[in-house]
Structure formats: C-alpha cells, structure tokens
Chain A
Amino acid sequence: MSKPLHIIRRQRRKRPREEIKSELDMTSMIDVVFLLLIFFMVATKFKQPEGTLRSWLPRDRGTSGGAPVVNPGCRFTLQMSDNIVVCYADQTTLPLHNGVYGSDDLGQAQQDFEGEWEVYGPDLQALERHIQMRKDTYMGVAAKGLPVIIDFAKDVPSVFVVNIVDLCKKLEIDDVAFAAPEIPIED
C-alpha cells in the first residue's frame, strides 16, 4: 500500500533543497540604455538663444501715386539691383560693403566677401554714421526722438531690414517704423 499523496508532498518539502542563486542579467538593459543615450546625444540640437527687436506697424496704409510726404525723420529705402542690395538714406546712396560704390567696382571685393549675406549689401558702418549724423542734427519735436522709417523692396533679403533695426537700437532710437506697402487692402 502506497503512502497517501499529501504525505509524499510533505516529505518532498522537507527534503533539503539546493540553493538556487538567480541573478538578473543586466547586460541587455545596459546595451539598450547606452543605445538610447547615444541616440539622444547625437540627435540633440540645442536651441539657439534668440532675442527680439521690438517694432511697431504704421497705422496708415500706403497709397500709390501720391506726392511724397515730407518727413523730418530718417528714411531708408532698400532696393535690389543686380543681386546687390542698394540702400538709399534720405535720397543719398550709401556705399556698399568695404566701400564699394557700384556694381562695376565689385570685382574682387565680392569674391573676397565672407560675410553672412548671400548677396552684397550696404556698408553697415556708413549706415551707422548716417543715422548718428541725423540723430545729432535732429531738431524735431517728436517725444521719441528721431523717427526712422524703413522702406524695402519685396526681394530684399530680410537680414538687411533687421540690420537697420538693430543699428537703430544700438543708437538708442526707439521710433522705428516700417513704411506701409503700397498694396490695397480688401476688407
């Protein structure tokens, strides 16, 4: 006669057991974690610090064909000519970068040009001198000081517009406005 089943189980439990040493294998997890780390290190692109140049829009709309309005302030006009940005300051043509005055004189100067622009543009130092001169001789009554108006053609790279705004900020001119484009607005 065999022993009952529950007695057999008890006897089995009482039998001394060999200690099973179980270790968790961390290798695969570390592999994956390192892969993730490498991915994020390679894919990370830190955000460039950005600032803001404050400006305001004019409240008037531009009109075409009208007589030019006499303005005591300083007006800059940027136009594109043969892949060169020409800057007119109060009806005066400002020199180009490195003192070049026209497309005929560009020559080697344009080849040596290593600025941040893809097209040739006005000399920023001459631009700054002009604004400073106008600011020093400004006799207006505007509370904000010399008003500066920036007018630009549509194909001018935006960096040149920003450069003028930046120079105005440098010379502590707060009244910077953009000329209203001559395009009718449909309400």
Chain B
Amino acid sequence: MSKNLDFGVEQDMTPMIDIVFLLIIFFMVVTELTMNQAEIVLPVAPRAKVVEPQPGSRVLIINVSLDGKTGEDRMQLGNGEFLTEKTLFAALKGETLAFDKWEPKPNNVGEPDSAIEVLIRCDRNAPAEYFHKIFFACQKAKIYKVNLAAQYERLGNPYDVEE
C-alpha cells in the first residue's frame, strides 16, 4: 500500500532570488572588465595620496603598459590607441585647445600654461624613457602639472587630501 504524503508544503524561493539578483547587480557594477585594456602594474609608493579632482579641472590619464610588440610605443591616452610621441603631442594639444583654460606662469612672463593636469600610469618595469616622451609632449602642449600614479600601502590614511 503506497501512501502519497503530500502535505502541500512549498518552499518560497522569492527571498533567495532577491538576494541572488542583488549579488548579480553588485558584481555587475563593481566589476572591471579589462578585456581590451592593457594591464599595468603600478609601483608601490606609500606616500601616494588620493587626490580628489577639483571642480572644473581636467585630468588626462596616460597609460604606459608593457604589452604590445617589441619596439612599439605603449602610451595610451585613456584606453585609446597606442600613441607615438607625435600623436601623443597632437592629442594633448587638441585637449588643451578644447579645454581652453589657462593659468599664468609663476613669473607672469610669456604665454600662460594650460590648466590641464596629466596623470601618468606607468608600469613599474616600463623603461623611464616613456617619462621623457610624455614630458616632451606635455611641455610642447604647455602642460606642466604632471603627476605619477602609484599604489599605496595602508601605512597612513591615504584619503588625507593634499593641500
């Protein structure tokens, strides 16, 4: 004699589905898809601080990676194409003209400098000649605020804003 013990008890899946969807949304938001981006291992500098961009300022990020063919320039403006010295200068020049904000030189002599800042994200093992190339392009484009990106160790509070 078989007896079907069906008490009509159903497990409510709604909370689980809610949580799973929340997890998916969380991971979709925080994930950094780096499929077409060059991987850059930044040097460690404990004194590097997080500097919040000032309102109305513009920071251009130049990535220097170790990827790519040997002998090629590996500079990118943002995640754009690889640039040579000339094309980098042209891009920076275009950015300064488009931004069109200028600051007087310290001695007030000569043409003013661009208010644009450049942040160099250079792989720690990339040759420093890329610094030279970027410095050249920045000088020619009248950009003199050039910062170096680095990973910091949590020795102090990295969110202390520089004065």
Contact = CB atoms under 8 A, between A and B. Distances in A.
A63 B138 CA distance: 18
B144 A37 contact: no
Interface string B15-46: 00100110110011011111000000011111
A155 interface: yes
A29 B42 CA distance: 41
B119 interface: yes
A48 B42 CA distance: 10
Contacts of A153: 128
Interface in A27-60: 29-30, 33-34, 36-37, 40-41, 43-57, 59
A155 B129 contact: yes
Given A158-B128, A169-B47, A54 B13 contact: no
Contact of B144 (A43, A57, A163): A57
A116 B74 CA distance: 22
Contacts of B123: 158
A187 B149 CA distance: 29
Interface string B124-163: 1111111110011011100111111111100000100010
A162 B148 CA distance: 7
Contacts of B13: 26, 30
Contacts of A169: 45, 47-48
A154 B133 CA distance: 10
Given A152-B131, A181-B136, A40 B48 contact: no
Q: Which of A30, A37, A57 has the most CB of B within 10 A?
A: A57
Q: Which of B121, B128, B149, B152 has the most CB of A within 10 A?
A: B128
Q: Which of B24, B34, B121, B158 has the most CB of A within 10 A?
A: B24
A106 interface: no
A47 B64 CA distance: 17
A118 interface: yes
A4 B114 CA distance: 90
Nearest to B129: A154
Chain A's interface size range is 35 or more
B51 interface: yes
B146 to A, nearest CB: 5
A155 B149 CA distance: 19
Nearest to A41: B27
B160 to A, nearest CB: 10
A159 interface: yes
A50 B43 contact: no
Contact of B125 (A45, A118, A166): A118
Interface string A138-150: 0000000000000
B24 A166 contact: no
Interface of A: 26, 29-30, 33-34, 36-37, 40-41, 43-57, 59, 61, 78, 116-118, 152-163, 165-166, 169-170, 178, 180-181, 183, 185, 187
23 contacts: A33-B20, A46-B32, A47-B32, A48-B42, A50-B150, A51-B149, A51-B152, A52-B147, A52-B149, A54-B162, A55-B148, A56-B146, A57-B138, A57-B144, A57-B146, A59-B139, A156-B128, A157-B128, A158-B128, A159-B124, A162-B43, A162-B148, A169-B45
Chain A to chain B: the 3 pairs with minimum beta-carbon distance, closest first: A51-B48, A154-B129, A40-B27
